[in-house]
Each structure stands twice: as C-alpha cells, then as structure tokens.
Structure 1
Amino acid sequence: MLREQIAASLEVAFSQQGFAEPSVAQLKTACDVSLRTLYKHFPSKEAMIVGALEHRHQRYLSLLLEDSPSSGYQAITHIFNKLQQWMEEYAPHGCLSMNALAAFPDNELINQAVIEHKKEVQALMAKQSQREDLASELFLLHEGVSSAWPVLGEEAVASAQNMVTKLLKETV
C-alpha cells in the first residue's frame, strides 16, 4: 500500500516537474516519506521513474475501460473520449511516457517500461475494437492525439474520431 502511495506521488511530481528537474530530495518531500523509505521501495531515481510510469499506466488503462461499451466501434469511440479526458486532466503537456523516453533515450529500464505500456495500449485497441487487423492504425491515431494535444487540444481528438469512423466503416 505504501509503495503504491509513493508511486502515485512520484507520478504527480514527474508530471508536474518533468524528469530532469526534481532531485531525489525533492521527490522524497513530494512523497512525504523519509529518504530511507523512498529508497526501500525505489532504490534509484531510475526505479522511481519506472514505478511512476507503471502506476500511471495502470491508472490510464483503468480510465480507458471505465464504463466502456463491451467492444466494437462504440468502445473505440469511448477510448478516444477517455483519452481527451486524460489529456485535459492529467497530461496537458503530452504523454508522460514519451517525455520519459525523450529524457532518458538510452536507459534500458525506462525504455522497456514505455514499450510495454505502448504495446498494452495497442493490444487494448485491438481487443476493444474487435479489429486485430487495425490495431496499428488505431494505436497510431491514439499516439497522434497524445503527441498533438499540447498544440491542437480537442481538435486532435475530433480529427482522430473522424478517422476512426472512416477507418472502421470503410473496412467493414
């Protein structure tokens, strides 16, 4: 339980301050734990970043599936609506995972955490749409929204929704 609380606090700290800025001492303060406790659960800054990303990943998947239609076109539309909610509430500066990748391009553990997150999102798109053959296309629309959000905002989601409609209706 304490580990999850620390991971949640780390997620907030990295989301607000980025990855380069907060020192371990600042992260300790953000988590409201002792340095010993922080290091007990996350023995390095790298582990803190991975823990925050993994925590965020689970929150994100839960949000996408919250009140979701079982599958098909409505389920994918729902995912993009939830993506808009996520970007507005939790990621106004873009995808935290991609920001971590940009900050630590050569870090194997961080890269692996991001890759696993992205693969699970792609698999979710395939499952929810019931269109394994369009998993990559749907995933790329999702990623496009995440990347373009800081510049286009709601327009990115509207454009993606339009493309989803065309894609799913043309390939039926």
Structure 2
Amino acid sequence: MIKESIAASLETAFSEFGFAEPSVAKLKSACDVSLRTLYKHYPSKEEMIVAALQHRHQRYLTFLVENAPNAGIDSIQHIFNMLGKWMLDYAPNGCMSINALAAFPENKLINETVKTHKKDVQRFLGEQSLRCDLATQLFLLHEGVSSAWPIIGDQALHSAQRSILNLLSES
C-alpha cells in the first residue's frame, strides 16, 4: 500500500515539477515519507520516474473508459472526449511519458516503460474501436492530440474527432 501511495505522489510531483528540476529531497517531501522509505521502494530517481509513469498509465486507461459505451465508434468518440478532459485537467504541458523520454533519452528503463505504455494505448484503441486493423491510425490521432494540446488545445481534439469519423465510416 505504501509503495502505491508513493508512486501516486511521485506521479503528481513529476507532473507538477517536470523531470529535471525536482531533487530526490523534494520528491521525498512530496511523498511525505522519509528518504529511507523512498529509497527502500525506489532506489534511484529513474526508478521513481518509472513508478510514476506506470501508476499514471493505469490511471489513464481507467480514466479513458470511465462510463464508456462497450466498444465501437461510440466508445472511441468517448475515449477521445476523455482524452480532452485528461489533457485539460492532468496534462496541460503534454504527454508525461514523452516528457520523461525527452528528459532521459538514453535511459533504457524509462525508454522501455514509455514504449510499453504507447503500445498498450495503441492496442487498447484497436480493441475499443473493434477495428484492430485501424489501431495505428487511431493511435496516431491520439498522439497528435496529446502532442498538439499545449499549442492548440481543443482544436487538436476536434480535428482528431472529425478524422476518426471519416476513418471509421470509410472502412
């Protein structure tokens, strides 16, 4: 339980402060634990980042399907509406995974964590749309929204939603 609580606090801290700026002492304070407890569960800053990313991954996928229709085009539209809410409420500076990768491009553990997250999202979109053959296209629209959000906000979401309707109605 304490390990999950620390991961949740780390997610919040990295989301707020970014990845380069917070020292381990600042992260310890954000988690409201001793340095010994923090290092017991996450022995390095990189492992703290991975814990935060993994926690966020689970929270994100759960958030996307909250009150969603079972599957198909309505489910995908709902997921993209939820993506807009997520960006507004939890990721106004863009995708936390991509930000972590940008801050630590050579770190294999962070790189693999981000790749796993992105592949899971791609697979998830294919499954939810009932169109696994369109998983890559839907994923690219998803990534486009999260990348463009800090610059054009809702405009990215609305454009992606129009593209989804076109994509799914053509097939």
Q: TM-score, normalised by structure 2?
A: 0.99
Aligned to 1:168: 168
Give runs of aligned pairs for residues 19-98 of structure 1, distance below 5 A.
19-98=19-98
> Number of residue pairs matched?
171
Aligned to 1:111: 111
Deviations along 1:82-105, one digit per CA (max 9) or x if unpaired, are 000100100000000000000011
For structure 1, the 5+ residue unaligned runs are: none
Report the Cα offset of residue 65 of structure 1.
1.1
Aligned to 2:156: 156
Aligned to 2:11: 11
Output the amino acid matched with 2:160. Answer: A
Runs of 4+ in 1 over 2 A off after TM superposition: none
Mapped to 2, the partners of 1:68 and 1:115 lie a distance apart of 25
Mapped to 2, the partners of 1:22 and 1:124 lie a distance apart of 32
Q: Secondary structure at the match of 1:149?
A: helix
Output the amino acid matched with 2:64. Answer: L
1:126 and 2:126 correspond: yes
For structure 2, the 5+ residue unaligned runs are: none
Identity of aligned residues (%): 65
Mapped to 1, the partners of 2:155 and 2:90 lie a distance apart of 18
Mapped to 2, the partners of 1:141 and 1:59 lie a distance apart of 20
Mapped to 1, the partners of 2:111 and 2:59 lie a distance apart of 19
Mapped to 2, the partners of 1:170 and 1:99 lie a distance apart of 34
Q: TM-score, normalised by structure 1?
A: 0.99
Mapped to 1, the partners of 2:87 and 2:158 lie a distance apart of 13
1:99 and 2:99 correspond: yes
Deviations along 1:20-63, one digit per CA (max 9) or x if unpaired, are 00000010001000000000110100000000000000000000
Aligned to 2:135: 135
Mapped to 2, the partners of 1:94 and 1:86 lie a distance apart of 10
Aligned to 1:2: 2
1:146 and 2:161 correspond: no
Mapped to 2, the partners of 1:5 and 1:154 lie a distance apart of 32
Mapped to 2, the partners of 1:68 and 1:22 lie a distance apart of 36
Q: Secondary structure at the match of 1:22?
A: coil
Q: Secondary structure at the match of 1:157?
A: helix
Output the amino acid matched with 1:96. Answer: M
